[in-house]
A and B are shown apart, each in its own frame.
Chain A
Amino acid sequence: ETGVTQTPRHLVMGMTNKKSLKCEQHLGHNAMYWYKQSAKKPLELMFVYNFKEQTENNSVPSRFSPECPNSSHLFLHLHTLQPEDSALYLCASSQDGAEYGYTFGSGTRLTVV
């Protein structure tokens, strides 16, 4: 247990479904991140939130919609995804930016069928 909890661990969804990924951190960190990791590829930074405000959106398609209601919770809303969106989605948190290291959750393995 890293202190960053992601649910669900596995998700299979159709291309017309709407689902949400949840991330919760119990570390008192002020920054939270969504990363995508496709098979045999490096982690790709998707979104960054600092003190609930989105500070980074790395040209992510609008079918991915993040939400950060408070500094402990982060959601990734998914709709009309494509099979190529199948990947491991990782949430991370940090305090005062990345200088002191990220703490990652175990990820959600998403399969789009």
Chain B
Amino acid sequence: LAKTTQPISMDSYEGQEVNITCSHNNIATNDYITWYQQFPSQGPRFIIQGYKTKVTNEVASLFIPADRKSSTLSLPRVSLSDTAVYYCLVGDNGQNFVFGPGTRLSVLP
């Protein structure tokens, strides 16, 4: 299983763009990169998934460089409600995800 490394915590202010970078140096050819968001006492929620280049949805963007050894989750104009833990995971079809400690994002007023 590809191991991921991401910052333990980040602070931001309302209205700012937040970028959380994840390192996955031993990502395999078949692995996808998936990001989840978790609020306290709730299950993680799927945010976005990508394989290469850039993926954008209504919530976030995911930037993946050509070597795929890292990825960056971009949250545009965060609000207080974006305060949560964000997990970066890599894995392929049929592989069971292993969650790391994630990045605890605190959005301040």
Contact = CB atoms under 8 A, between A and B. Distances in A.
Interface of A: 2, 4, 33, 35, 41-43, 45, 48, 50, 56, 88, 90-92, 96-107, 109
A104 B44 contact: yes
B44 A102 contact: yes
A34 to B, nearest CB: 11
Given A96-B94, A97-B93, A98-B93, A105 B100 contact: no
A4 B45 CA distance: 12
Given A42-B99, A42-B101, A102 B93 contact: no
A82 B98 CA distance: 24
A23 B108 CA distance: 36
A91 B36 CA distance: 15
A105 B49 contact: no
Interface of B: 32, 34, 36, 41-46, 49, 89, 91-102
Given A42-B99, A42-B100, A107-B41, A102 B94 contact: no
A56 B95 CA distance: 11
Nearest to B91: A98
Contacts of B45: 2, 104
B44 A43 contact: yes
Contacts of A101: 34, 46, 49
Contacts of A41: 101
A42 to B, nearest CB: 5
Contact of A105 (B34, B43, B91): B43
Contact of B41 (A4, A88, A105): A88
A47 to B, nearest CB: 10
Nearest to B99: A43
A50 to B, nearest CB: 8
A48 B97 CA distance: 11
